Amino acid sequence: MSAWAEGIAASTIFVEDLSASKKFYLNVFEAPILFEDEHSVAFKFGGTIINLLRTTHVSELIDPATAAPREAGVRLLFTVEVDDVDAKCSELAAAGVELVNGPMDRRWGPRTASFRDLDGYMWEIAQGQ
């Protein structure tokens, strides 16, 4: 049996300050902007779209469900592959990004490090074996 989904096309994350988050994503990831309007900015991450959406417009997507506040804790981790975790950590530090952990060698193989974006979403950078 094969999976009915061929991959994750897009992830929408809810942000408090769209302008600051856009600047953070441009500075940290240098990802191209695919779409932008007054309430969202969509970035292209390889074959995936990361859409930043103002929290004031979240209900349009998830109503009648509600969004959890940042204070609820980490419930999601995005992992992106990089060639050199240590070099990328140096670049992140130079950009003012504080690491949550790493760089470290994981028992399952990759070298990783993690950081939060401005709205508390966790990002992990991973270097393959």
Instruction: Tell me: pLDDT of 1 over 90.
Output: no
Query: Chain-centre distance of CA 76, in angstroms?
Result: 9
Spell out the domain ranges in the chain: 1-67, 70-129
As a whole number of angstroms, the distance between CA 16 and CA 56 comes to 8
Domains 1-67 and 70-129 agree in fold? yes
pLDDT of residue 9: 85
Domain at 1-67: CATH architecture? Roll (3.10)
* Model confidence band, residue 95 (pLDDT cutoffs 50, 70, 90): very high
Neighbour tally for 112: CB within 10 Å:
19
Domain at 70-129: CATH architecture? Roll (3.10)
Instruction: Tell me: pLDDT of 33 over 90.
Output: yes
Could you give phi then psi for residue 101, rounded to 5 degrees?
A: -155, 165
How does the average pLDDT of the chain come out, rounded? 91
Q: What is the DSSP letter of 72?
A: G
pLDDT of residue 2: 59
* Residue 38: strand, helix, or coil: coil
pLDDT of residue 21: 97
